[in-house]
Amino acid sequence: MKKFAFWCSLFIVVYFIIEGIFLGALLVSRKLQILSYLPVRSKTITPKQTAKIQELLNGRERYLTYSAALGWTVKPNEVGTRYHSNAQGIRSNREYTFAPAPHMTRIVTFGDSFTHCDGVHNHDTWQEVLNRLDERLEVINFGVPAFGMDQAFLRFQHDGSIYQSHIVLIGFMTENIFRHVNRYRPFYSPKTGLPLSKPRFIIEHQALKLIDNPIATREGYRDLLTQPAKRLPQFGINDFFYQHKYHQGYFDFLPSIRYIKAASYQFLPQGGRSKILYKDTYREDSEAYNVTIRLFDAFIEKVKYRNMTPIIVIFPDKRDVVTYWHNRQKSYTSLFKHFNQKGYRYIDIMDAFELAAPAKRLKNLFKGGHYSPRGNQRVAQIMLEYLQAQQLIR
């Protein structure tokens, strides 16, 4: 009996030591931004996200608002300490006519937060810098935070195409590839402050097919709050992260379970993330990649149909820039092969940061996770040089 008690006690001590090791590994990994435990919630919604949805239902949301067609969009006539939108729901301090002035070259820009220019005031966006660099330009900012290029494509069709323009800049931040296989943002980004659903495209018979926003009306979010265990699995249909990422479980209070789940998803060949990236480069056989290149094709075709000139703009994030400075590797190189085969015009913003010294200049180029005012100045300068070299300014 004493021997049994001894072995039981030893087992408990060893077990707690092991759990302590896993807890330490989790804390260190999160501190170093190597991995974090961020499970898919398939039955519940966090209190913070519930509060955000309540704000939406009560009409108290700020800057971003519900859109049946897009998932969300910029709210018209919003004036904040940093962001200002006009009556057309465009990030701008002024209104725009549908047709440009005869002497102006109008450029409309679509994309996510790197097109919207999160983190800086309106006058520090690269669009406004471009306007100041060349008085012949009228550059309009249709960017929306947290968008995928799928939503940007839809916004061009719903909102942007009515504006007669000469050039359309199609913004693509390198992480957008993940958003193109997501329908409910918290499945992909569990800590998001934007707990909304979105439309997405799938490939059917080698062509893109639109799957509409699963919440067709604003009131649909009330149903989500009252029946999350019923509604969330419905959102998970055709959502890559719901299907392939680890879900919250009963034993996830254990550090060992948390670490094993997070590490398996992040690093193992059969883990969900590895189905999109291989050694930090896009997997050309992945659904996400193939949806992405078809989105480029469809977007460019639609722009050309309206007699406008499309230009793709690739926005690297901070991790991309650091990786490139260290080993000269870009996760998105395979896109260039596709662009060159198709004859697409494109600008790689990495070129704007090429001459910046890593340790010395990185903090000057970025403000948080987005470009700083100085970073946006570099972006505007390389865009202007491209437009001038291609003789695209009237």
Each residue's pLDDT, cut to its tens digit, for the chain (394 residues) gives 677 776 677 677 776 777 677 667 667 667 666 677 788 899 999 999 999 999 999 989 989 999 999 999 999 999 888 999 999 999 999 999 999 999 999 999 999 999 999 999 999 999 999 999 999 999 999 999 999 999 999 999 999 889 999 999 999 999 999 999 999 999 999 999 999 999 999 999 999 999 999 999 999 999 999 999 999 999 999 999 999 988 888 877 777 777 777 777 777 666 677 788 877 889 999 999 999 999 999 999 999 999 999 999 999 999 899 888 888 889 899 999 999 999 999 999 998 887 665 555 788 899 989 999 999 999 999 999 999 999 999 8
pLDDT value at position 32?
63
Residue 358 CA, chain-centre distance (Å), reads 24
pLDDT of residue 390: 95
**Residues whose CB falls within 8 Å of the CB of residue 273, separated by 6 or more in sequence, listed in order:** 265, 266
Alpha carbon 63 to chain centroid, angstroms: 17
Residue 11 CA to residue 65 CA, distance in Å, equals 54
Nearest residue to 26 (alpha-carbon basis) of 37, 17, 40, 15 = 37
Q: Please give the pLDDT value at position 125.
A: 98
What are the φ/ψ torsions at residue 2 (nearest 5 degrees)? -65, -40
Q: Are 90 and 73 in contact (CB under 8 A)?
A: no
Strand partners, 200: 211
Please report the pLDDT score of residue 280 as a whole number.
80
Of 26, 35, 40, 37, the C-alpha closest to 244 is: 40
Cα angle 352-357-361, degrees, rounded to a multiple of 5: 80
Phi, psi dihedral angles at 170 (to 5 degrees): -100, 100
By the 8 A CB rule, do 185 and 196 touch? yes
Q: Residue 361 and residue 317: Cα distance in Å, rounded? A: 14
- The predicted pLDDT at position 80 comes to 81
Residues in the chain: 394
Q: Which of 162, 152, 188 is nearest to 71 (CA)?
A: 152
Domains and CATH numbers, the chain: 1-34+256-275 (no CATH), 47-244+279-389 (3.40.50.1110)
What per-residue confidence (pLDDT) applies to 25? 66
Q: How much is the pLDDT for 19?
A: 65
* Longest CA span, the chain: 95
How confident is the model at residue 270, as a pLDDT? 64
Q: Are 168 and 310 contacting, i.e. CB atoms less than 8 angstroms apart?
A: yes
Task: Give the global pTM.
Answer: 0.92
